[in-house]
Amino acid sequence: MKQDFGVFDVHSDLFTNVTLRRQAGETDVIRAHHIRQLRAGNVCAMLCCIWIDPPYTENPPARMVEIMASACAELREAQDIAEAAHSAADIERICAGGKLAILLGMEGLSGLHGRVDFLDVLYAWGVRHAMLTWNEVNAFAHGASCHEDKGLTSLGIKALDRMEELGMLVDVSHANERTFWDVCEHITKPFIASHSNAYALCAHARNLKDDQIKALAARGGVIGMNAWPEFIDGAAPSAERLADHVDHIRDLVGIDHIACGFDFCDYLTSDTLDSFTSSDVVTEGLESAANIPSLFALLRARGYSEEDVEKIAHGNMMRVVKAVIG
């Protein structure tokens, strides 16, 4: 099999697993449970999010700090195999050294309790990305679980302004449709949908409609292809079907706006998964990071060039990182 290009996975809940395992007494979790699969999938960079998982939503700030603390402790132990990145140059340097580059992000800002100025603290801690919401309605925006025609709040607008000033990636993957359009109207830099697919092929609220994909592309952004089964196909999710989503987006806006945002959950505990899904269906052929090369093999078989594959694997996302974060 042809060696694939290094992959930049634009959405991972790695630090949720790290936190749960460390709280149970484990250490060096990345080395023990993750690095082998990531290397098998040729993943060289990841955007790892701080996610307030549903069992902990009663006290979002406390959970945010717990996960950040676990991430810092873990990265100290794993410094020979992984390193936090704060810029595009960092990502390139870390990957060139054979280590995993980790860009820190926020999967929702509920942990801020409406305090926009705390974005400066997150930035100082190394965070370079944020979604305003994880599905829920919070002080900043209305998430994908809200089907009303309500989007950004006044605090949300202030948060976006500060994120642009700081140089943080804005992510709309968990936004509802109104919030998406409000973000599109308000910010000036490229933005991303880190882990969403095409609504035209799978009508799920977490996927983007064609006009949204066109608007995101017009701003220079990318949409990360998501391996979570519910966002691929309601009946038979598979790597082949995810390749159909890639085809659709390429035909709609071109190859330059497609990335990888796999959202693998094979390592999350049943308690965590059961808190937001009742499905035990998996995506055939794309069950974990180790299967990533099979998706690129499918794309090559469909006629995608090596340049196309490289763009999807990491080139498109690196372009956005350079434009927004620097």
What fold, for 7-324?
TIM Barrel (3.20.20)
**Listed range (3-12, 132-141, 235-244, 259-268) with the worst mean pLDDT:** 3-12
| pLDDT tens string 52-111 | 988 888 899 999 999 999 999 999 999 999 999 999 999 999 999 999 999 999 999 999
Q: Is the pLDDT of residue 253 over 90?
A: yes
The confidence score (pLDDT) of residue 265 equals 85
Neighbours of 40 (CB within 10 A): 14
Helices (H), ranges, the chain: 14-23, 29, 35-40, 60-77, 88-96, 118-124, 154-166, 177-186, 210-218, 239-253, 270-274, 292-301, 306-310, 316-324
The mean per-residue pLDDT over the stretch 11-38 comes to 96
| pLDDT tens string 121-145 | 999 999 999 999 999 999 999 999 9
What is d(CA 125, CA 83) in angstroms, rounded to the nearest whole number?
14
Mean pLDDT for the chain? Answer: 94
Q: Is the pLDDT of residue 30 over 80?
A: yes
CB 234 within 8 A of CB 201: no
Q: Is the pLDDT of residue 188 over 70?
A: yes
Query: Torsion-angle region of residue 135: left (phi > 0), alpha (psi -120 to 50) or beta?
Result: left
Q: Is 173 exposed, middle or buried (0-12, 13-18, 19+ CB in 10 A)?
A: buried
The confidence score (pLDDT) of residue 58 equals 87
CB 150 within 8 A of CB 177: no
The mean per-residue pLDDT over the stretch 291-315 comes to 97
CB 11 within 8 A of CB 194: yes
Helices (H), ranges, 192-305: 210-218, 239-253, 270-274, 292-301
Structure tokens at 176: 């509802």
H or E stretch covering 45: strand 43-51
What is d(CA 19, CA 16) in angstroms, rounded to the nearest whole number?
5
Percentage of residues in the chain having pLDDT higher than 90: 90
Interior/surface letters 133-144, b for 16+ CB within 10 angstroms, e for the rest:
bbbbbbbbbbbb
**Listed range (32-41, 207-216, 260-269) with the worst mean pLDDT:** 260-269
Q: Is the pLDDT of residue 163 over 50?
A: yes
pTM of the model: 0.95
| pLDDT tens string 194-207 | 999 999 999 999 99
